[in-house]
């Protein structure tokens, strides 16, 4: 549930893509009336039907980037916004267009040869961007620009750019800069290897027959018929994994599937992860920091590694006792089935959590599934967000896309085209197997509109399968769409490197987690959650029961998130020769979570965020604190009311990364954020 990470490590800018020459050419083209074919700069995919054409288009981006950089460096006389910042903006924009587009194709294209081409192009684009960050002439040129009379966004852009240059090591001697460039390139490739091993390891288990599916919903059983040998295959991908863990009465089936899931990319990624830790540590040391954690937290809202460690401790303190109380309830329920039970294992949590909620809160997630068929939910996400933010989405008929299942849309604000997005929402072999918003192009006024893709793995998409979703899938969908809308509404400014979701990284999960709240509101749900057979809206009473049940297990869930945050942080806050990833994981888990660690598993090998977020997975919890506070400003009696949403759009989403996150939040709240709303929520009182 994330922002897909760029491969670049020295500068926390996210990845982007397009055909520069075309973008400039078409930027001034008049926007045609709504309802017609796609307008504005050509959509990024339009000229990439095969890997050769894709290579050509990405290389054209890199040439345009180089040409912009050359133009900037060649400018004579006094350094100005026009002769320096404008071409610098284009150099980064085109370089990132190549990086973002390649990264998306590397992660999603159905053809493995195409993915391999994209992987190589990602490396090339990363090399260009890393070299740019180490280019002293470019740094000095920007330093020399007088921005004293420029607007606030431009001033902040320059301030942040110069800081990024310094943090990249631009002021080091040539030999050191060379070493940094080599390390960055190695980190890019190692991160790619880490992600590829996760993508390509899609395991299955075989069941003896339909009896092993006892407890699972009927539609699930129907779509998992035995093969010719009588056996049933279950995959570790989400559409199989989540229902099995929640509903299967056969505990051994749950255990086996989770065991495979928690060993995804094992053993291949053990050494890859070690290598990533070593390289990042070395880079941090060269740049003058004690550890990578010190380096990576410095430009975040949290400011220091010490503050991050304190925040993770605070999470532990606020969750552990309550999580232990909840755990005792799980154990008590398990003892009704097995009086000799002494513990509840990881693969039993979802299952017993359901049984407890059923008994104590009269809520069974099976009841809500029939109201959540994929197509209706998708339409619901579109309708809810368009209403809140006053937008129109138009499906682009016959859009060129990388897989036939992908849908393309335009986003309109009245007569203004704001951007485009792509929905790639069902699993297929070799595809990124988590859920994320991928950047394709960040917006820049007069040059290109933002384009982004949601890459998820939801049920459905097959003929005859209604694709009944778990409510947690719906939350994921709204979460990722929260990133998407942030990226598009925040992508309307002048400076591409600070557009959209290029905010301070530990703020980026706030808009996405905020939008999850809309999935728990009966009024909102009833607009789209309609029974897949009868069309009847989800009963208000069912939603009310779900909301009450939702509070149970919250501390247990949060304590696991705190453990993951600690794992991400601790792997990076010490010299790698002291790091044994299995040992650290095994030491931390019992400190944070009362649930025993699953034996013989190595979940760090498929914890993709250990590359993209590296030490700062605490971001999710940190952003949640802010999201809960921001949600307190909305009118819960009418979440579809556009009034507060408009203010939120203007003050939090629209600025993108053009100001410090703390200021945006202060503008919206009218004060600094605090922990009150989060603590109330965690206590189950909300
Ligand atoms: Zn996210």
State the distance from the centre of ligand 1 to the C-alpha of 30, rounded, in angstroms.
35
Torsion over CA: 547, 548, 554, 557 (sign): negative
State the distance from the centre of ligand 1 to the C-alpha of 79, rounded, in angstroms.
39
Per-residue pLDDT, 32: 33
Four-point Cα dihedral 539, 545, 550, 552, nearest 10: -170
What's the token pair of residue 344? 């509840």
Which pLDDT tens digit goes with each residue over 159-212?
Answer: 999 999 999 999 999 999 999 999 999 999 999 999 999 999 999 999 999 999
Arithmetic mean of pLDDT, 540-566? 96
At residue 2, does pLDDT exceed 70?
no
Closest CA to 515 of 487, 492, 535: 487
State the distance from the centre of ligand 1 to the C-alpha of 309, rounded, in angstroms.
21
User: Strands 416-424 and 451-455, how do they pair?
Assistant: parallel
State the distance from the centre of ligand 1 to the C-alpha of 470, rounded, in angstroms.
18
CA separation, residue 179 to residues 224, 275, 361, 519 (Å): 53, 16, 59, 49
State the distance from the centre of ligand 1 to the C-alpha of 482, rounded, in angstroms.
8
Which pLDDT tens digit goes with each residue over 276-305?
Answer: 999 999 999 999 999 999 999 999 999 999
State the distance from the centre of ligand 1 to the C-alpha of 438, rounded, in angstroms.
11
State the distance from the centre of ligand 1 to the C-alpha of 242, rounded, in angstroms.
19
**CA distance linking residue 1 with residue 358, whole number of Å:** 27
Which pLDDT tens digit goes with each residue over 430-479?
Answer: 999 999 999 999 999 999 999 999 999 999 999 989 999 999 999 999 99
Which pLDDT tens digit goes with each residue over 509-536?
Answer: 999 999 999 999 999 999 999 999 999 9
State the distance from the centre of ligand 1 to the C-alpha of 4, rounded, in angstroms.
9
Containing 102, the helix (H) or strand (E) segment is helix 86-108
State the distance from the centre of ligand 1 to the C-alpha of 483, rounded, in angstroms.
7
- Is 41 or 381 the better-scoring residue by pLDDT? 381
At residue 140, does pLDDT exceed 70?
yes
State the distance from the centre of ligand 1 to the C-alpha of 155, rounded, in angstroms.
29
Label residue 398 by pLDDT band (50, 70, 90).
confident
Full DSSP string of 182-246: HHHHHHHHHHHHHHHHHHH---EEEESSGGGGTTS-HHHHHTS---TTS-EEEESSHHHHHHHHH
State the distance from the centre of ligand 1 to the C-alpha of 63, rounded, in angstroms.
32
State the distance from the centre of ligand 1 to the C-alpha of 563, rounded, in angstroms.
18
Helices 619-631 and 305-337 meet at what angle, rounded to 10?
A: 80
State the distance from the centre of ligand 1 to the C-alpha of 623, rounded, in angstroms.
10
State the distance from the centre of ligand 1 to the C-alpha of 478, rounded, in angstroms.
10
State the distance from the centre of ligand 1 to the C-alpha of 184, rounded, in angstroms.
25
Label residue 91 by pLDDT band (50, 70, 90).
very high
What's the token pair of residue 622? 């940190």
CA separation, residue 185 to residues 120, 281, 498 (Å): 12, 15, 23
State the distance from the centre of ligand 1 to the C-alpha of 206, rounded, in angstroms.
32
State the distance from the centre of ligand 1 to the C-alpha of 117, rounded, in angstroms.
27
State the distance from the centre of ligand 1 to the C-alpha of 564, rounded, in angstroms.
15
Compute how many other C-beta atoms are within 10 angstroms of the C-beta atom of residue 159.
Answer: 11
Label residue 15 by pLDDT band (50, 70, 90).
very low
What's the token pair of residue 290? 């004690």
State the distance from the centre of ligand 1 to the C-alpha of 624, rounded, in angstroms.
11
Which pLDDT tens digit goes with each residue over 334-364?
Answer: 999 999 999 999 999 999 999 999 999 999 9
State the distance from the centre of ligand 1 to the C-alpha of 657, rounded, in angstroms.
16
State the distance from the centre of ligand 1 to the C-alpha of 362, rounded, in angstroms.
31
State the distance from the centre of ligand 1 to the C-alpha of 513, rounded, in angstroms.
7
State the distance from the centre of ligand 1 to the C-alpha of 161, rounded, in angstroms.
25
State the distance from the centre of ligand 1 to the C-alpha of 512, rounded, in angstroms.
6
State the distance from the centre of ligand 1 to the C-alpha of 426, rounded, in angstroms.
18
Label residue 142 by pLDDT band (50, 70, 90).
very high
Scanning 529-635, the segments in alpha helix (DSSP H) are 540-550, 554-572, 581-592, 609-612, 619-631
Strand ranges (E), 387-482? 392-395, 407-413, 416-424, 436-441, 451-455
Torsion over CA: 672, 678, 679, 684 (sign): positive
State the distance from the centre of ligand 1 to the C-alpha of 621, rounded, in angstroms.
11
**CA distance linking residue 579 with residue 573, whole number of Å:** 10
State the distance from the centre of ligand 1 to the C-alpha of 481, rounded, in angstroms.
9
**CA distance linking residue 226 with residue 206, whole number of Å:** 10
State the distance from the centre of ligand 1 to the C-alpha of 627, rounded, in angstroms.
12
| Percent of the chain predicted with pLDDT > 90 | 91
State the distance from the centre of ligand 1 to the C-alpha of 510, rounded, in angstroms.
8
Per-residue pLDDT, 595: 97
**CA angle at residue 395 from 389 to 396, to 5 degrees?**
130
Q: Name the β-bridge partners of 423.
A: 407, 454
Compute how many other C-beta atoms are within 10 angstroms of the C-beta atom of residue 321.
Answer: 12
Report the side by side order of strands in the sheet with 416-424: 2-3, 436-441, 451-455, 416-424, 407-413, 392-395
User: Strands 2-3 and 436-441, how do they pair?
Assistant: parallel
State the distance from the centre of ligand 1 to the C-alpha of 457, rounded, in angstroms.
14
Per-residue pLDDT, 23: 26
What are the residues whose beta carbons fall under 8 Å from the beta carbon of 378, sequence distance 6 or more? 423, 425, 477
State the distance from the centre of ligand 1 to the C-alpha of 421, rounded, in angstroms.
16
State the distance from the centre of ligand 1 to the C-alpha of 84, rounded, in angstroms.
34
State the distance from the centre of ligand 1 to the C-alpha of 147, rounded, in angstroms.
34
Closest CA to 401 of 44, 45, 15: 45
Length, in residues, of the chain: 686
State the distance from the centre of ligand 1 to the C-alpha of 49, rounded, in angstroms.
30
Q: Are 208 and 150 in contact (CB under 8 A)?
A: no
State the distance from the centre of ligand 1 to the C-alpha of 620, rounded, in angstroms.
8
Closest CA to 564 of 341, 316, 366: 316
Q: Are 96 and 13 in contact (CB under 8 A)?
A: yes
Per-residue pLDDT, 365: 93
- Mean pLDDT in the chain? 93
State the distance from the centre of ligand 1 to the C-alpha of 370, rounded, in angstroms.
26
Which pLDDT tens digit goes with each residue over 111-139?
Answer: 999 999 999 999 999 999 999 999 999 99
State the distance from the centre of ligand 1 to the C-alpha of 241, rounded, in angstroms.
20
State the distance from the centre of ligand 1 to the C-alpha of 232, rounded, in angstroms.
33
Per-residue pLDDT, 17: 25
Four-point Cα dihedral 384, 387, 391, 393, nearest 10: 40
State the distance from the centre of ligand 1 to the C-alpha of 168, rounded, in angstroms.
26
State the distance from the centre of ligand 1 to the C-alpha of 459, rounded, in angstroms.
19
| Ion ligand 1 contact residues with beta carbon within 5 A | 1-2, 509, 512
Q: Which class for 208: exposed (0-12), middle (13-18), buried (19 or more C-beta within 10 A)?
A: exposed
What's the token pair of residue 440? 């394709």
User: Strands 232-235 and 204-207, how do they pair?
Assistant: antiparallel
State the distance from the centre of ligand 1 to the C-alpha of 98, rounded, in angstroms.
23
State the distance from the centre of ligand 1 to the C-alpha of 562, rounded, in angstroms.
16
Mapping DSSP onto H, E and C, the string for 487-516 reads: HHHCCCCCCHHHCCCCCCHHHCHHHHHHHH
Q: Are 312 and 233 in contact (CB under 8 A)?
A: no
What are the residues whose beta carbons fall under 8 Å from the beta carbon of 76, sequence distance 6 or more? none
State the distance from the centre of ligand 1 to the C-alpha of 660, rounded, in angstroms.
19
State the distance from the centre of ligand 1 to the C-alpha of 618, rounded, in angstroms.
12
Per-residue pLDDT, 1: 54
């Amino acid at each position: 549930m994330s922002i897909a990470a760029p491969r670049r490590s020295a500068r926390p800018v996210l990845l982007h893509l397009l055909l520069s020459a075309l973008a400039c050419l078409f930027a001034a083209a008049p926007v045609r009336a709504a309802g017609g074919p796609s307008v504005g700069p050509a959509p990024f995919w339009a000229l990439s039907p095969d890997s050769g054409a894709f290579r050509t288009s990405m290389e054209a981006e890199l040439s345009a980037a180089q040409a912009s950089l050359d133009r900037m460096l060649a400018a004579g006389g006094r350094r100005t916004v026009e002769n320096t910042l404008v071409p610098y903006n284009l150099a980064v924009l085109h370089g990132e267009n190549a990086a973002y587009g390649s990264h998306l194709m590397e992660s999603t294209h159905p053809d493995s040869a195409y993915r391999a081409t994209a992987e190589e192009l990602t490396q090339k684009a990363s090399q260009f961007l890393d070299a740019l960050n180490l280019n002293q002439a470019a740094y000095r040129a920007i330093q020399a620009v007088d921005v004293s009379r420029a607007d606030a966004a431009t001033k902040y852009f320059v301030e942040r750019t110069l800081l990024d240059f310094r943090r990249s090591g631009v002021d080091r001697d040539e030999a050191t800069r060379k070493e940094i460039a080599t390390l960055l390139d190695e980190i890019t490739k190692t991160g790619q290897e880490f992600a590829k091993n996760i993508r390509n390891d899609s395991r299955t288990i075989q069941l003896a027959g339909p009896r092993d599916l006892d407890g699972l919903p009927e539609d699930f059983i129907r779509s998992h018929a035995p093969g010719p040998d009588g056996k049933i295959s279950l995959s570790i991908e989400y559409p199989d994994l989540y229902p099995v863990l929640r509903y299967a009465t056969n505990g051994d089936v749950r255990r086996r599937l989770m065991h495979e899931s928690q060993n995804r990319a094992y053993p291949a990624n053990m050494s890859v992860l070690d290598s990533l830790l070593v390289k990042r540590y070395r880079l941090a040391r060269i740049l003058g920091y004690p550890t990578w954690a010190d380096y990576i937290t410095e430009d975040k809202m949290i400011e220091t590694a010490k503050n991050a460690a304190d925040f993770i401790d605070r999470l532990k303190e606020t969750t552990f006792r309550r999580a232990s109380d909840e755990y005792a309830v799980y154990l008590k329920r398990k003892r009704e089935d097995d009086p000799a039970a002494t513990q509840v294992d990881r693969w039993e949590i979802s299952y017993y959590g359901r049984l407890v909620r059923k008994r104590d809160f009269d809520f069974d997630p099976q009841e809500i599934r029939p109201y959540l068929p994929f197509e209706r939910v998708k339409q619901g996400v579109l309708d809810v967000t368009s209403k809140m933010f006053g937008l129109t989405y138009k499906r682009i008929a016959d859009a060129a896309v990388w897989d036939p299942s992908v849908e393309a849309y335009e986003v309109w604000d009245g007569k203004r085209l704001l951007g485009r997005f792509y929905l790639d929402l069902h699993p297929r072999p070799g595809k990124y197997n988590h859920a994320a918003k991928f950047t394709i192009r960040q917006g820049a006024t007069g040059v290109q509109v933002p384009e982004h893709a949601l890459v998820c793995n939801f049920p459905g998409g097959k003929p005859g399968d209604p694709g009944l979703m778990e409510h947690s899938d719906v939350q994921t969908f709204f979460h990722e769409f929260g990133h998407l809308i942030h990226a598009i509404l925040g992508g309307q400014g002048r400076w591409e490197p600070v557009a959209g979701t290029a905010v301070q990284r530990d703020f980026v999960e706030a808009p996405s987690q905020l939008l999850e709240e809309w999935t728990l509101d009966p009024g909102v749900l009833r607009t789209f959650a309609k029974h897949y057979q009868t069309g009847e809206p989800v009963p208000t009473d069912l939603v009310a029961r779900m909301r009450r049940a939702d509070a149970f297990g919250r501390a247990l869930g949060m304590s696991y998130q705190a453990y993951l945050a600690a794992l991400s942080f601790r792997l990076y806050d010490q010299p790698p020769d002291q790091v044994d990833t299995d040992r650290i994981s095994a030491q931390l888990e019992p400190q944070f979570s009362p649930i025993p660690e699953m034996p013989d598993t190595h979940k760090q090998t498929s914890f993709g965020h250990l590359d993209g977020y590296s030490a700062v997975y605490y971001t999710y919890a940190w952003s949640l604190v802010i999201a809960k506070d921001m949600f307190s400003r909305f009118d819960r009696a009418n979440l579809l009311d556009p009034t507060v949403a408009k203010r939120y759009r203007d003050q939090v989403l629209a600025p993108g990364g053009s100001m410090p996150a703390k200021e945006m939040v202060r503008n919206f709240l009218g004060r600094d954020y605090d922990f009150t709303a989060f603590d109330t929520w965690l206590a189950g009182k909300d």
